[in-house]
């Protein structure tokens, strides 16, 4: 695998990342304030904003307000082959006024253009504060303000898939496994239960969401906006 990230690109990435996760103008402005800070490289990862490494944990947001952190793998990943990703995700313990959640992002296209337009970004994530949800997004929700599993491409709009979930800011670590079947163009997402998929998405992600790009940059983004929660992921290293 090759790296397609460099300092110039990564110093700009948080503008679109912030919009992807929280879709709220206040914290995006804060992202612009420090987006030119140099990225930090460590053990095959690139850290931006509040993201940092704490032993095996990749801390995306500390327990403070208006935190934005992102961590990207230096190596790209190919959708031409089957793959499997495993990681642990922790969303904090503050449900009332907590953080905004965590997105796993697959980014294709020419960089940094794709980062700014959002036209070549596919996300799998967990949203803990509703921002721009429409009635159509949450038509099946019993609680419109509930935490949500989200999936789909983004162009500064809400993802195409919204699924209501129980409170995930529960001070527990959650096991996540994501598999990609290239021949069936099928992505399966497992959360805590590793035997039965929580959600199965079938579609040509590369053609429909990544502008035909099979080689993608992979990263995680977390934000807290005006709430606060410590949020982190623990990748399962191969």
pLDDT tens for each residue of 147-176? 888 888 775 456 678 888 888 888 999 999
Tell me, what's the pLDDT at 98? 57
- On the question of pLDDT at 234 being above 50, the answer is yes
Query: In Å, what is the CA distance from 50 to each residue of 33, 58, 169, 212?
Result: 13, 10, 19, 32
Residue 162 to residue 73: CA distance in whole angstroms:
26
Query: How many helices (H) and strands (E) would you count in the chain?
Result: 5, 16
What was the pLDDT predicted at 9? 43
* CATH architecture of residue range(s) 7-235: Sandwich (2.60)
> Which pLDDT score is estimated for 148?
83
Q: How confident is the model at residue 227 (pLDDT cuts 50, 70, 90)?
A: low
How big is the chain by its Cα radius of gyration, in Å? Answer: 16
**The pLDDT of residue 36:** 56
Does residue 29 or residue 163 have the better pLDDT? 163
Question: Structural domain boundaries of the chain?
Answer: 7-235
Decide if pLDDT at 2 tops 90: no
Strand, coil or helix: what is 205?
Answer: helix
Closest CA to 180 of 200, 160, 161: 200
Distance CA 6, CA 77 (A): 16
Say which range, 49-63, 69-83, 91-105, has the weakest mean pLDDT: 91-105
Contact (CB, 8 A) for 71 and 45: yes
Give the pLDDT mean for 93-101: 70
pLDDT of residue 24: 38
Three-state SS for 133? Answer: coil
Residue 44: pLDDT over 80: yes
Q: Give the rounded percent of residues in the chain with a pLDDT score beyond 90.
A: 24
Mean residue pLDDT of the chain comes to: 76
Nearest to 226 by CA among 25, 27, 14: 27
Residues 15-24: pLDDT tens digits? 354 444 443 3
Indicate the pTM of the whole model: 0.81
Q: What is the pLDDT of residues 108-136, one digit of tens each?
A: 855 445 455 555 788 898 877 766 666 66
* Whole-number percent of the chain with pLDDT over 70: 68
């Amino acid at each position: 695998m090759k790296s397609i990230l460099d300092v110039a690109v990564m110093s700009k990435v948080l503008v679109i990342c912030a919009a992807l996760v929280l879709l709220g103008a206040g914290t995006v402005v804060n992202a612009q304030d420090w987006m030119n800070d140099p990225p930090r490289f460590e053990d095959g990862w690139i850290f931006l904003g509040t993201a940092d490494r704490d032993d095996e944990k990749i801390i995306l947001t500390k327990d403070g307000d208006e935190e934005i952190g992102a961590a990207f793998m230096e190596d790209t990943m190919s959708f031409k082959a089957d793959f499997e990703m495993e990681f642990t995700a922790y969303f904090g313990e503050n449900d009332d006024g907590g953080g905004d959640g965590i997105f796993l992002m697959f980014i294709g296209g020419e960089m940094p253009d794709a980062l700014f337009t959002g036209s070549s970004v596919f996300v799998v994530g967990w949203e803990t504060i509703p921002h721009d949800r429409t009635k159509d997004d949450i038509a099946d929700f019993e609680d419109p303000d509930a935490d949500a599993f989200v999936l789909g491409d983004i162009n500064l709009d809400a993802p195409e898939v919204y699924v209501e979930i129980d409170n995930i800011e529960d001070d527990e670590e959650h096991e996540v496994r994501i598999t990609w079947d290239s021949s069936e163009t099928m992505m399966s997402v497992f959360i805590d239960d590793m035997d039965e998929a929580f959600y199965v998405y079938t579609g040509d992600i590369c053609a429909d969401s990544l502008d035909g790009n099979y080689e993608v940059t992979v990263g995680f983004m977390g934000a807290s906006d005006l709430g606060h929660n410590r949020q982190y992921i623990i990748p399962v290293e191969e």
